[in-house]
Amino acid sequence: MNSIAKEASISVAVRIRPLTPDESTLRKIVDVVDDRMLVFDPHSSSSENPRIGRHNKRHKEHKFIFDRLFDEDSSQSDIYENATKPSIDAALQGYNSTIFAYGATGCGKTFTISGTPESPGIIFLALKDIFDYVSQNSNEREISIQISYLEIYNENIIDLLNIETNTKKLTLLENENSEIIVNNLSKYNVSNVEDVMDLIIRGNYNRTVSPTEANLTSSRSHAVLQVYISQSPILNDVMENSTKSVLSIIDLAGSERASATKNTGLRLHEGANINKSLLALGNCINALCDNRKNHHIPYRNSKLTRLLKFSLGGNCKTVMIVCISPSYRHYDETLNALKFANRAKEIKTKVVRNKTTVMKHVGSYMKIISDQKRKIYELETLMDVSVKREMNTFNEQRKNIYSQIDIMIERIGKNLNNYQNVQSYQIFNIAKRKLLLVYLKQFTDFSDTLVELEDYNQLSILKEYLLKFINYLKNSLLSLNQNTKLNDLLVEYSESFHKRLREIDGWSESDDVLYLKQLDLLKTKMEFHIGEESSILFDSWFNDNNISIDMGIMPKTFAQYLVIFSSLDNLDTARVKCEALINGLINNIIQQMEAIDLTNTNGGNMKILNNSKKRTHNTKITENDDEEQNSFIRQGNRINSINNKLMRVNLESSKEDESLSEIESSLILDSNKGVLTISKNMTTNNYSNPSLFLNSESTPQKNDVFNGDFDISPNISKISKEYPNRHDISTIQEWEESNSSIVIRKDENNDNGTTNENNKIKNNDNNMNWNIELPEKMSPSTSFSPTSLHFRRSRFRRLSNDQKLTSKKLIASPKITSPHRLVGFDSKSNNLQFQDPIQDNHNGNEYGNADEFADVMERDDVDIEL
């Protein structure tokens, strides 16, 4: 024990309670001079308050000076703050402290110590401060607060918090640390004022209280509340002292004489015992005031003095609050109490802070170490938990990021797959490019062969014609510029998804890298797919007998025939034959390319199917064999019919797979009035007659304005069932436009080979045409979707104003499998013409000849993108 003892005095405060109503007529016997001095029975008071009754004694003025004096108007907090607070602070600093209230019955001891719910006393106010201190210091110190509550009644100790405990077991002991211990007394851990007050109420309920004449709820016992405060530093500074202290708050029983309370029997016995312990208290105080050394202090004369041994004469800061009544009725008790208090002032105590140092208490040191270890373990566990939590969060974040990247990449892939036509376009372009190169090579070689035949003047026109065609092939090649649309789409999607990904919690720069790598992978996969598909497509074309074998063989045989023809006597005949041969050949190529452009199947499976019987090529050349010559001409015609066969096959395949007919095409027309003509074959049995439908909630009427979708369907009943809002408009004679709508007219003027009344459509045999006419003042946002069996979700859009007003732009998807293929563009009527190629009756006549076709193809205003 580190004992730096300080000498201190018992602090004595006197509190005067207010007069009670029944005392109002009695003389006041105390006069408060200031906050320390009191005059008992002052002379001046005798005239104002005449003596009455038997208390007619001659008064004598006494002056007392105390550490603090509180008059009738003093509040509970005045007492607490000024008389007792220093003792509480001392207890929190490790000093034992005792506060006790002394005084005659009914003078305010219980009021001062316990108070009332409205006006709580020292116990409540002290404990509140203690717990405030605990919460303010809990980071640095481990502070535990326990309480016990006992009473000494008739020299017996009663555990007020455990009334069952046999009083005989509650014995007083003094331990080696000079502390008074009550054996078997229950102690309760408390963590807030409410806990304490609950226990106090419980204890007070058990208190021995009986009415006396002086006080209806007179306390017949001494009540002792003890607060055990132990504190140790939390932090590793083990050299810092731990402290233990006890704060005792004692409500003594009334100090009146036994006679004053008119008690008899039990009450008298109580009074005797009360007075015995109070007498003993007085004797102890007297002895303590005696300056003689080593004289005996009779603590052992009563339980109360034994309990208060160190509060009075030892290691304790002690405050005595003497409660007095100002009324003449308590003349003697008040005088005695004041004299008692005055003596107590003289008592000197030796106050020692109860600190425990490491050096002296190795056991405590070990405890500190184990406490610290426990704390470290707890902290480590806590850290572990938080690190684990962090790790989990991190892992979750990573998992989320990776899966989000995967999802986004997959979505980009899916989105790009939605642009089948763009992909197909690229696939198709590459294959077509290769094919064109092959043709070019073939024809250039062939043209070179002709050089050898230069002597034959009559062939010069043909050669010129051939060169013109080679030129056409070259131009076609040039127009097949690299398509970057897929790449543009990829960039567009990847940027917008990247932006979204960056908003994910935990996204870092390394994730950017990962994402971009994944994108590269996706791009490579796509490029590989496109390359592979275009190779397959090219192979299918190249290996197709109808195309490549003929193309590969023709130039050679053709040259040989030219030689034969040129050697004929009749040059005119030779020229006609040569012309027919070349014409047939070029027409074939053009038509094949046309067929490729408009009839390849969807996506990566773009194979030109051929159901035609395998043809055998007759390459045997016999001079003057008309049959042979005719066979070449027939061969030309036969090749002409390839398209039709291809078309038929495609039609069949589209019937097998409904999705094949779900194709997209976009028709973009400028604001100039134009007509889209969709030809309808009335004769073929391969599919039902297409009909025109409107998508409209209400049935369209004549002169209705329509801005919505419309379809041309092969199967009315099926479509009607599936799409109840589609209306067959074929019965509507004329569906007039307003300025901002579309005019759809049923063309009934179906005479073969004639034009309709608007001169806009060139009709063919067996065809019935629908005109879809754009109004003059179509707004830029006006759009509608004509859909045929094979052209679904087509769109008309107006071009921007700076584009040629007379131009029309057709963008057809390479996925088109329609037998309705673009067959021409009528520049006079501004018509785009679609024709069913199943009919064999046009044989390319739509174009007239390659020149005308080339003319059409090379027009700026007809742009066919495939």
Ligand X SMILES: Nc1ncnc2c1ncn2[C@@H]1O[C@H](COP(=O)(O)OP(=O)(O)OP(=O)(O)O)[C@@H](O)[C@H]1O
Q: For tokens 């500074």, what's the residue?
A: 237
Could you tell me if 145 and 191 are in contact, meaning their C-beta atoms sit under 8 angstroms apart? yes
Shortest spacing between CB 72 and ligand X, in angstroms: 7
Say how far apart CA 786 and CA 695 lie, in whole Å: 10
Tell me, by CB under 6 A, how many residues bind ligand X.
Answer: 17
Phi first, then psi, for residue 264 (nearest 5°) are -130, 170
Number of Cβ within a 10 Å radius of residue 665: 23
Shortest spacing between CB 334 and ligand X, in angstroms: 12
Among 165, 218, 242, 818, indicate the residue that binds ligand X (CB under 6 A).
Answer: 218
Stretch of 213-221, 362-370, 655-663, 735-743 contacting ligand X, by CB under 6 A: 213-221
Shortest spacing between CB 253 and ligand X, in angstroms: 6
**Distance between alpha carbon 831 and the CA centroid of its chain, in Å?**
56
Q: Which is nearer to ligand X, 107 or 422 (CB)?
A: 107
Shortest spacing between CB 74 and ligand X, in angstroms: 7
Burial class (CB in 10 A: 0-12, 13-18, 19+), 72: middle
Closest by alpha carbon to 562, among 552, 577, 549? 577
Q: Which is nearer to ligand X, 111 or 796 (CB)?
A: 111
Shortest spacing between CB 262 and ligand X, in angstroms: 14
Convert residues 50-89 into a mask of x (bound to ligand X by CB under 6 A) and - (unbound).
----------------------------------------
Q: Which is nearer to ligand X, 278 or 574 (CB)?
A: 278
DSSP category for residue 744: E
Q: Which is nearer to ligand X, 17 or 842 (CB)?
A: 17
Rg (CA), the chain: 59
Closest by alpha carbon to 98, among 12, 188, 161? 12
Stretch of 56-64, 211-219, 786-794, 811-819 contacting ligand X, by CB under 6 A: 211-219
Residue 458 makes CB contacts below 8 A (sequence gap 6+) with 566, 571, 574, 575, 578
Query: 463 in helix, strand or coil?
Result: helix
Closest by alpha carbon to 676, among 831, 809, 804? 831
Closest by alpha carbon to 808, among 799, 819, 817, 800? 799
Q: Which two tokens stand for residue 345?
A: 């002032």
Could you tell me if 399 and 505 are in contact, meaning their C-beta atoms sit under 8 angstroms apart? no
Say how far apart CA 863 and CA 809 lie, in whole Å: 6
Q: Which is nearer to ligand X, 73 or 164 (CB)?
A: 73
Phi first, then psi, for residue 5 (nearest 5°) are -80, 135
Say how far apart CA 540 and CA 609 lie, in whole Å: 9
Among 1, 8, 9, 18, indicate the residue that binds ligand X (CB under 6 A).
Answer: 18
Q: Which is nearer to ligand X, 94 or 103 (CB)?
A: 103
- The beta-strand segments (E) located in 201-359 are 222-233, 242-251, 317-324, 348-351, 355-356
Shortest spacing between CB 285 and ligand X, in angstroms: 19
Among 45, 84, 148, 219, indicate the residue that binds ligand X (CB under 6 A).
Answer: 219
Backbone region of residue 158 per phi and psi (left: phi > 0; alpha: psi in -120 to 50; beta: other values): beta
Shortest spacing between CB 213 and ligand X, in angstroms: 10
Q: Which is nearer to ligand X, 276 or 793 (CB)?
A: 276
Shortest spacing between CB 215 and ligand X, in angstroms: 4
> Nearest 5 degrees, angle CA 575-CA 577-CA 578?
65
By CB under 6 A, tell whether 275 contacts ligand X: no
Say how far apart CA 726 and CA 493 lie, in whole Å: 35
Q: Which is nearer to ligand X, 20 or 740 (CB)?
A: 20
- Footprint (CB under 6 A) of ligand X, residues 240-269: 253-254
Query: 814 in helix, strand or coil?
Result: coil
Q: Which is nearer to ligand X, 208 or 591 (CB)?
A: 208
Could you tell me if 15 and 322 are in contact, meaning their C-beta atoms sit under 8 angstroms apart? yes
- Footprint (CB under 6 A) of ligand X, residues 103-142: 103, 105-111
Say how far apart CA 222 and CA 230 lie, in whole Å: 25
Shortest spacing between CB 17 and ligand X, in angstroms: 4
Distance set, CA 424 to CA 17, 266, 332, 572 (Å) = 106, 116, 120, 47
Could you tell me if 810 and 863 are in contact, meaning their C-beta atoms sit under 8 angstroms apart? yes
Q: Which residues are annotated as a binding site for ATP?
A: 103-110
Shortest spacing between CB 177 and ligand X, in angstroms: 33
- Footprint (CB under 6 A) of ligand X, residues 816-835: none
Pairing type for strands 97-103 and 68-70 reads unpaired
- Footprint (CB under 6 A) of ligand X, residues 465-494: none
Q: Which is nearer to ligand X, 254 or 313 (CB)?
A: 254
By CB under 6 A, tell whether 329 contacts ligand X: no
Stretch of 210-218, 386-394, 438-446, 563-571 contacting ligand X, by CB under 6 A: 210-218
Q: For tokens 């763009």, what's the residue?
A: 422
The closest residue (CB) to ligand X is 108
Say how far apart CA 566 and CA 459 lie, in whole Å: 8
Q: Which residues are annotated as a binding site?
A: 103-110
By CB under 6 A, tell whether 224 contacts ligand X: no
Shortest spacing between CB 210 and ligand X, in angstroms: 9
Convert residues 306-325 into a mask of x (bound to ligand X by CB under 6 A) and - (unbound).
-----------------x--
Pairing type for strands 767-773 and 675-681 reads antiparallel
Among 17, 317, 648, 790, indicate the residue that binds ligand X (CB under 6 A).
Answer: 17
Say how far apart CA 10 and CA 316 lie, in whole Å: 9
Say how far apart CA 422 and CA 865 lie, in whole Å: 10
Q: Which is nearer to ligand X, 141 or 207 (CB)?
A: 207
Q: Which is nearer to ligand X, 23 or 826 (CB)?
A: 23
Shortest spacing between CB 272 and ligand X, in angstroms: 16
Q: Which amino acid is at 214?
A: A
Number of Cβ within a 10 Å radius of residue 419: 16
Shortest spacing between CB 126 and ligand X, in angstroms: 17
Convert residues 508-547 into a mask of x (bound to ligand X by CB under 6 A) and - (unbound).
----------------------------------------
Shortest spacing between CB 45 and ligand X, in angstroms: 20
Residue 467 makes CB contacts below 8 A (sequence gap 6+) with 447
Shortest spacing between CB 269 and ligand X, in angstroms: 16
Residue 451 makes CB contacts below 8 A (sequence gap 6+) with none
Query: 100 in helix, strand or coil?
Result: strand
Q: Which is nearer to ligand X, 319 or 473 (CB)?
A: 319
The H or E element that residue 734 is part of is strand 734-735
Q: Which two tokens stand for residue 520?
A: 């590269």
Which positions touch ligand X (CB under 6 A)? 17-18, 103, 105-111, 215, 217-219, 253-254, 323
